[in-house]
């Protein structure tokens, strides 16, 4: 692994672990990787670095240590906020997570341990989630007398359905990794010691595909999910046509007809 940024980060690590594959680690294990303003800003800076790298194909996100992915937003930090400051903190997180969600490349959360509150919201803003067997997911904000602030009420409803989202939001209970997979929140569950290896294997698989096709496909999924079916299918036809303008389409079809592996640019 090699650090790819000249920036001095205090709360995160950003590394290019394989060709085209970035790994962002929330690095505050003493506070279970809780999110404060500085951490959110460093993550924003990391995304700016990744965006400028045209060879980037996949971003993996994990938490430092074995206890937590991200245990939530930093309660010590939030306890001192005024209503106006609280709204600004939420907007900061909302902007970052939406930016992550609409990144041109796939983003995969590797969830080890607690993913509660802001941690669950961070995981849900990724394209999909791989979890360790000890992972716990939940939105326990009601226990603090507040609502979710980084999109939890909206993404959770879209991912697990209205009734289950309401249950989780108003009870504050957490879900095990197995339940989260049954509910459709998590794609795969692995032993903790195998989580990163499986994430890297998946990332390498994605990195070998057509970058332009993956970018357009992500746009279809992200933008189409809230459209009616007719307009969503029109968008798919448009982007299908657009994909025929790419070098990757020429290479991919030529490779298929020549019975060889494609060499995507």
Is 141 considered catalytic here? yes
Residue with tokens 């060889």: 260
Partners of residue 63 on adjacent β-strands: 26
Complete edge-to-edge strand list for the sheet that includes strand 58-63 = 2-3, 12-18, 21-26, 58-63, 107-111, 128-132, 188-190
Give the up-direction half-sphere exposure of residue 196: CA atoms within 13 A in the CB hemisphere. 16
Choice among 38, 101, 121, 179 that is catalytic: 121
Choice among 37, 38, 101, 141 that is catalytic: 141
- Are 138 and 174 in contact, with CB atoms under 8 Å apart? yes
**Spatial CB neighbours of 112, under 8 Å, sequence gap ≥ 6:** 62, 63, 65, 66, 67, 68, 69, 131, 132, 134, 135, 192, 195
- In order of 11, 36, 110, the CA distances from 25 in angstroms are 9, 15, 10
- In order of 34, 64, 67, 262, the CA distances from 29 in angstroms are 8, 6, 8, 42
- Are 112 and 192 in contact, with CB atoms under 8 Å apart? yes
Q: How far apart are CA 22 and CA 51, in angstroms?
A: 11
Tell how strand 12-18 and strand 2-3 pair up. antiparallel
Is 37 considered catalytic here? no
**Spatial CB neighbours of 82, under 8 Å, sequence gap ≥ 6:** none
Q: Which residues are identified as catalytic?
A: 121, 141
């Amino acid at each position: 692994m090699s650090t790819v940024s000249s920036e001095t980060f205090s709360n995160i690590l950003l590394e290019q672990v394989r060709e085209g594959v970035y790994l962002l680690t929330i690095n505050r294990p003493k506070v279970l990787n809780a999110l404060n303003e500085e951490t959110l800003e460093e993550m924003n800076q990391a995304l700016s670095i990744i965006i400028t790298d045209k060879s980037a194909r996949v971003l993996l996100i994990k938490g430092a240590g074995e206890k937590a992915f991200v245990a939530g937003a930093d309660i010590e930090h939030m306890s001192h906020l005024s209503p106006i400051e609280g709204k600004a903190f939420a907007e900061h997180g909302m902007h970052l997570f939406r930016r992550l969600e609409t990144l041109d490349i796939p983003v995969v959360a590797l969830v080890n341990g607690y993913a509660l509150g802001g941690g669950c919201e961070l995981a849900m803003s990724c394209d999909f989630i791989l979890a360790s067997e000890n992972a716990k997911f939940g939105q326990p904000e009601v226990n603090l007398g507040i609502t979710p602030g980084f999109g939890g009420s909206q993404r959770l409803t879209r991912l697990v359905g209205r009734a289950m989202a309401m249950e989780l939001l108003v009870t504050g209970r957490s879900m095990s990794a197995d339940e989260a997979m049954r509910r459709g929140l998590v794609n795969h569950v692995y032993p903790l010691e195998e989580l990163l290896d499986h994430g890297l294997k998946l990332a390498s698989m994605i990195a070998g595909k057509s970058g332009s096709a993956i970018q357009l496909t992500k746009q279809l999924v992200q933008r189409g999910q809230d459209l009616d079916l007719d307009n969503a299918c029109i968008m798919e036809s448009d982007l299908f046509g657009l994909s025929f303008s790419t070098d990757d389409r020429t290479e991919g079809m030529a490779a298929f007809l020549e019975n060889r592996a494609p060499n995507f640019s």
